[in-house]
Structure 1
């Protein structure tokens, strides 16, 4: 309702002038009044003249002032620092995993030497020179079975000799 006419309901309300209300009057200015400058005054730091420094108009509650470009630059520097710290932490974690794997591999090699050194996964014990061949050992076990069938007393007598022949003496 922004036209020159008033609303019909408002036109019906009579206006009265209250003797207790005074309308504001124009203030008279003193002779010492000075107009406000159209530009900002020089900074209070004492640096005057043309400077490359940007105006610091973002002020925190603690009183620290900065320009938005400075804030963005500090945020980017913080992000780069955090990224570098994260990469360093990931690198250290990979190195730690490698050290743990190397330590475990060394422990496994100590338990089973040669097992993890090549692709061959079948270990064969080396025979000592002068050890009995497979045929001789099989023959000795057959003799032990024959002795066991003949009698318990014979096995008790010949059992130690059969073991010495099969596995070698204590000499």
Structure 2
């Protein structure tokens, strides 16, 4: 855009003068003003600043921060140590929380079935009796098998005569249905 011609859209915008806004004015400099040199000379007193024992900061970030590579490595190591501490704290907190959940579940299971978790016997097995002879045991098993079949038939006839309401009184099944089974 040239200075002698304004843009047509800008020409349509009305300009107003506000008494509350004042444009900045140029600062007047004294006659004794001298511009600073771009590089300062070494101090004449011989006193060196704290910059002599520091390493040169030649790595410059886009934001303008300058640092030496050793400083960058040290800050990265400090950050890694901080993250490791945070991770250890988080893992300890997680372990404590999981232990509390485990204890709560165990207390609930002990409330539902007291004494079951206190022993190592998890499966009940009948004790086996030693028989006098294998042939006699086979005959007894055959007779026992016939007794079992006749007993089952008797139970079926009793079950047929029983009403449906007696089957629905199975309290364990009702509790499992209402509250769900234990894992």
After TM superposition, is the score higher than 0.5? no
Q: Which has the larger radius of gyration?
A: 1
TM-score between both structures, scaled by the size of structure 2: 0.39
TM-score between both structures, scaled by the size of structure 1: 0.42
